[in-house]
Amino acid sequence: MATVKVKLRPSTVPGKAGTIYYQLTHLRQVKQITTKIHLHPQDWDSNKAQIIFTDSTSYLLQCKIDRDLDRLKKIIYKIDAECANYTVNEIIEKFYQTTADYSITDFFTQQIQKLKNDNRRGTARNYSKTLKSLKAFMKNTDSTFNIVTEQFVESYNTFLIQRGVVRNTISFYMRIFRSVYNKAVTQKIIEQTFPFKNVYTGVDRTRKRAVTETVISQLLSIDLKKSKALQFARDLFIFSFYARGMAFVDIVYLKKSNIQNGYITYVRHKTGQELTIRIETRLQNIINQYEKKDSPYLFPILNTEDENKAYSQYEIALNYYNRQLKRLSKLLEPNINLSSYTPRHTWATTARNKNVPLSIISAGMGHSSEKTTLIYLTKIDNSIIDEVNKAIIDSIKQ
């Protein structure tokens, strides 16, 4: 059976780092696989054939060596069981065949571009944030997915904790990283080893985002004629609430063509699910107030249909919208913090307080990822959801 050893080849140039290589021996044949790992002699323990740990970078490099050695041994065991007559070159060939075609950064970037091509720019932005965090952990070095072990993932988790990242955000990064890793597994870039099994990927309950019906009524009663910016922000907020908690991104991209026969039909940017909302009188009043004849959009936020420019305008608008909502919050009762998420949470809470079944609330909000919703979606007539929405709107005092 072939054997494999890891060694450091010193540089011929004084003071320059040497190169780690794997020495394969079989039937008196000796071949080498040169790596991209470079170390100085003082950083290498030749007796233990491993890196002397000095920082997180040396740990990451040792993880890569360990993964490569493990893969080489698996290849040797498999080929030895299948055929007695094989050469070292065959081992090396299989090693390179199973080596990832993409580095972690390259594969992440490819997934980000795919999301952008699918017009899932919000998700693409989240992937970009995760990659930025991961690169900070790896000190802007790069590697293949072979480095992603339980130890690697746990070290990344510890790194985030030490940087003061909150638990839900850590889970957010881990879920995205795991998703990308699983895509690499599906594409046979790496074997599945379940490296994320010991880190938290759930979602903790966050602070209350919903407000009461009284706050909504108070918001409606404020005289904002002196500030068009605040009035527009308030009206978008109320529109979102009246439209069953429609997300701001979906409001921004709404077009006149989305309205037919007294209904708004649109596709959620986040999930790709199509939703239909009956236009109640109060919804129509807001639409009439901001409709422009020379624009395809329902609201005067975007002025282009170019995807990249439109998304940039959306991001600017979202930031500005949340700033205006903070200003509006100060005009309301103490400890009220409005955000672009508030209408959605408020609609759900208001519906729940009116004893609306969870299945109908979920269907009304387009929560297609919930198992309960998936079970009941086909059984719920959309008119039931429309009546629920009308009841919620009518319950607000003007």
DSSP summary character for residue 298: S
The arithmetic mean of pLDDT across residues 99-127, rounded, is: 83
pLDDT at 335 exceeding the cut of 50 = yes
C-alpha to C-alpha distance for 2 and 386, rounded to whole angstroms: 70
Q: Which CATH architecture has domain 213-394?
A: Orthogonal Bundle (1.10)
pLDDT for residue 379: 42
Give the type of residue at 279.
I
How many degrees, rounded to 5, is the angle at CA 178 between CA 76 and CA 174?
Answer: 130
User: How many Cβ atoms sit within 10 Å of the Cβ of residue 103?
Assistant: 15
Q: Which region among 84-93, 147-156, 354-363 has the lowest average model confidence (pLDDT)? A: 354-363
Residues sharing a CB contact under 8 Å with residue 18, sequence separation 6 or more, in sequence order: 8, 9, 10, 11, 38, 39, 40, 41, 44
Pairing of strands 18-26, 3-9: antiparallel
pLDDT for residue 67: 79
Domain boundaries, the chain: 3-98, 104-186, 213-394
pLDDT in tens, 56-66: 678 778 888 88
pLDDT in tens, 170-203: 999 999 999 999 999 887 788 899 999 999 887 7
Instruction: Tell me which residue of 276, 272, 254, 280 sits closest to 264, measured CA to CA.
Output: 276
Percent of the chain exceeding pLDDT 70 equals 93
pLDDT at 353 exceeding the cut of 60 = yes
User: How many Cβ atoms sit within 10 Å of the Cβ of residue 318?
Assistant: 16
Q: Which region among 95-109, 158-172, 185-199 has the lowest average model confidence (pLDDT)? A: 95-109
User: In the structure, what pLDDT confidence band is assigned to residue 307 with cuts at 50, 70 and 90?
Assistant: confident
User: By the 8 A CB rule, do 29 and 88 touch?
Assistant: yes
User: In the structure, what pLDDT confidence band is assigned to residue 207 with cuts at 50, 70 and 90?
Assistant: low
Q: Is 204 helix (H, G, I), strand (E, B) or coil?
A: coil
pLDDT in tens, 362-394: 778 776 555 433 322 234 457 778 888 998 998
C-alpha to C-alpha distance for 222 and 227, rounded to whole angstroms: 11
Q: Which region among 11-25, 99-113, 227-241 has the lowest average model confidence (pLDDT)? A: 99-113
Helix boundaries (H) for the chain: 56-82, 88-98, 104-117, 121-137, 150-162, 167-186, 213-221, 228-242, 248-252, 281-290, 307-329, 342-353, 358-365, 371-376, 382-394
Cβ-in-10-Å burial (0-12, 13-18, 19+) of 96 comes to exposed
Percent of the chain exceeding pLDDT 90 equals 50
pLDDT at 329 exceeding the cut of 60 = yes
User: In the structure, what pLDDT confidence band is assigned to residue 299 with cuts at 50, 70 and 90?
Assistant: very high
The arithmetic mean of pLDDT across residues 224-251, rounded, is: 95
pLDDT in tens, 38-59: 999 999 999 999 999 877 678 7
C-alpha to C-alpha distance for 398 and 285, rounded to whole angstroms: 13
CA 66, 69, 74, 77 torsion: positive or negative?
negative
Strand order in the sheet with 3-9: 3-9, 18-26, 29-39
pLDDT for residue 101: 53
Q: Between residues 244 and 356, which one has the greater pLDDT?
A: 244
pLDDT for residue 371: 44
Residue 152, token pair as written in the block: 């690697």
pLDDT in tens, 118-142: 778 889 999 999 999 999 998 888 8
C-alpha to C-alpha distance for 268 and 236, rounded to whole angstroms: 17
pTM (2 d.p.):
0.62
pLDDT for residue 117: 77
User: In the structure, what pLDDT confidence band is assigned to residue 248 with cuts at 50, 70 and 90?
Assistant: very high
For the chain, the residue count is: 398
Query: Mean of the per-residue pLDDT values for the chain?
Result: 87
C-alpha to C-alpha distance for 155 and 130, rounded to whole angstroms: 15
C-alpha to C-alpha distance for 241 and 213, rounded to whole angstroms: 11
User: By the 8 A CB rule, do 282 and 242 touch?
Assistant: yes
User: By the 8 A CB rule, do 224 and 230 touch?
Assistant: yes
pLDDT for residue 373: 30
pLDDT in tens, 8-19: 999 999 999 999
